[in-house]
Amino acid sequence: MQITINDKLYDLAWGLGAIEIYCDAMDCDIDGLSYIGDNTDLKRKQKAITYLILAAIQNGLELKNEVLDVSYRTLQLWISEADQKLFNEVMDDFMKSRYFGKTVSEHIFGIAPTEEPLKKKSRSAK
């Protein structure tokens, strides 16, 4: 997935690299990813979401041997002004990303990926 910040397109590269960057920034282990869904500490949640997206941007840039040129505050402004649908797509993209062979949602949050329900075949009219 890509997002545009100040007229520049950035790849969001999730996975192990982004999670490591996030954990270093938040001074936590892998369980610290639960902060993004923690509604009991909104300050920590906001910080976690910002660092999570920033980590994906940094990981994407590093994979292309480019330097991080987005600041924490610039990203906070982008998050504040982003269309809700786009923000939800970013978070959904993270939840569907892979970590040690499983999606983040199933590996870390215990939520198995949803599958489309099978449609029942309609009976033919006799």
Please give the average pLDDT of every successive group of 10 residues along the chain, which has 126 residues. Answer: 96 96 96 91 96 98 97 97 96 92 81 55 47
pTM: 0.85
In-domain check, residue 112: no
In-domain check, residue 77: yes
Residue 43, token pair as written in the block: 């300050």
67, amino acid identity: V
Cα angle at 24 between 22 and 27, to 5 degrees? 105
Q: In this predicted structure, what is the pLDDT of residue 115? A: 52
What is the total count of domains within the chain? 1
Q: In this predicted structure, what is the pLDDT of residue 107? A: 75
In-domain check, residue 116: no
In-domain check, residue 120: no
The bridge status of strand 102-103 relative to strand 2-5 is unpaired
Q: In this predicted structure, what is the pLDDT of residue 108? A: 72
